[in-house]
């Protein structure tokens, strides 16, 4: 039930934003989000509310972690 999906912010109007993912568009509320998003940001959406603005740098960090994990064969 804690299902939540990353969706792209298309438009912001006060306390509400239009977001889209995989061809689905939806209006969500911004009451409980941690950081106010900008158009083009991705937010994690749960039950009609954006709950988290995805930090692109943080997302890249995970992907970079994989690169390092496999480029350096030394353990740890």
Partner 1 sequence: MKHLDEYRDRELAQRIIERIHASSKKGIRIMEVCGTHTVSIFRNGIRDVLPSNIALISGPGCPVCVTATEEIDKSIKLSREHDVIITTFGDLMRVPGSKSSLQKEKANGADIRVVYSVSDAIKIASNNPQKRVVFLGIGFETTAPTIAAAVLEAKSEGIKNFFVLVLHKLIPPAMEALLSGGDLKIDGFMCPGHVTSIIGASSYVPVTQRYHIPCVVAGFEPIDILQAIYMLVEQLEEGQAQVEIQYKRGVTFEGNKNAMAIMERVFDRCDTVWRGLGVISKSGFKLKVQYREFAAEDSFDLSIPKAKEHPGCMCGEILRGVVTPAECPLFRRTCNPGHPVGPCMVSSEGTCAAYYKYQA
Binding site for partner 1 (CB under 8 A): 1-4, 6, 8, 21, 29, 31-34, 42, 44, 46-49, 51-52, 54-56, 58-63, 65-66, 69-70, 75-76
**Least Cβ distance, residue 75 to partner 1 (angstroms):** 8
Determine how β-strand 49-53 pairs with β-strand 5-13.
unpaired
Percent helix, percent strand, percent coil in the chain, to nearest 5: 20, 40, 40
Are 55 and 34 in contact, with CB atoms under 8 Å apart? Answer: no
Shortest reach from residue 13's CB to partner 1, in Å: 15
Nearer to partner 1, 11 or 20 (CB): 20
Least spacing, CB of residue 66 vs partner 1, in Å:
6
């Amino acid at each position: 039930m804690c299902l939540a999906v990353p969706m792209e912010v298309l438009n912001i109007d006060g306390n509400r934003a239009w977001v889209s993912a995989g061809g689905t568009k939806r209006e969500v509320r911004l009451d409980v989000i941690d950081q106010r998003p900008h158009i083009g940001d991705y937010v994690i959406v749960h039950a009609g509310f954006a709950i988290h603005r995805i930090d692109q740098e943080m997302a890249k960090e995970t992907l970079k972690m994989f690169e390092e994990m496999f480029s350096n064969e030394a353990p740890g």
